[in-house]
Amino acid sequence: MKKIEIEFTINGKKRKIFVKPNDLLINIIRNDLYLTGSKYGCGIGECGACTVLLNGEPVLSCLTLALTIDGKEITTIEGLAKGDELHPMQKAFLKNGAVQCGFCTPGMILTATVLLRENSNATEDEIRDYMRGNLCRCTGYVQIVKAIEECASEGKTS
């Protein structure tokens, strides 16, 4: 099938690549750009493991056609740290033992950063409600919520 050229910014870098109409964003990110932090989970928008930020908003990259990101800005988990300095949310996840197998972690962290951007004083209930589309099959939710709460209480949202 004919490939089409798209241009976009990913983690601050401009990229131009050729994609097919039925290429999914998650596959392009992992297989063409070698950014394997984003995970392919259920593939049908149920689990949140493939979450990336599209123009700053969390979306499911398994339900996004690669073609549609032309001209837009993507942030993946690889784009959060500033050099060697981890993002406060990443630090909070490490400190609170919020990472078990790690498969859900990139999606969890990205969604959590948007939650605190929108609501920097989120309560436990608000955190659980907002994070409800990101599943952790190790069921480590207590630590995950604790990490996000800690980030909120310290006012470290970016």
Partner 1 sequence: MNQFKYISPKTKEEALEILQEKKSDACIVAGCSNVLPNIRNKKINPKLLVDIVNIEQLKGIYRKEDKIFLGPLTTINELIYSEVIFKEYNVLTQAAEQFADPLVRNTATIGGNLVTASPAADMAVPLLTLGAVIKIESIRQKREVKLKEFFLGPGKTVLQDDEMIVGIEFEQSDINKNGYFVKLGKRKAMAIAIVSLALNLEIKRNKIIQIRIALGSVAPIPIRLTVVEEFLKNKEINNKLVEEAVSKVGEEVNPISDIRASEEYRRYISGILFKRAFNKLT
Which residue's CB is nearer to partner 1, number 62 or number 99? 62
Which residue's CB is nearer to partner 1, number 82 or number 139? 139
Shortest gap between Cβ of 129 and partner 1 (angstroms)?
Answer: 7
Which residue's CB is nearer to partner 1, number 43 or number 86? 43
Contacts of residue 113, Cβ cutoff 8 Å, sequence gap at least 6: 80, 87, 89, 157, 158
Q: Which two structure tokens, joined as six digits, stand for 75?
A: 């942030």
Shortest gap between Cβ of 35 and partner 1 (angstroms)?
Answer: 19
Query: HEC states along 36-86?
Result: CCCCCCCCCCCCCCCEEEECCEEEEHHHCEHHHHCCCEEECHHHCCECCEC
Shortest gap between Cβ of 25 and partner 1 (angstroms)?
Answer: 10
**Residues binding partner 1 (CB under 8 A):** 1, 20-22, 24, 43-46, 48, 51, 57-60, 62-65, 67-68, 111, 129-130, 132-134
Q: Which residues pair with 108 in a beta bridge?
A: none
Shortest gap between Cβ of 154 and partner 1 (angstroms)?
Answer: 23
Which residue's CB is nearer to partner 1, number 131 or number 151? 131
Q: Which residues pair with 68 in a beta bridge?
A: none
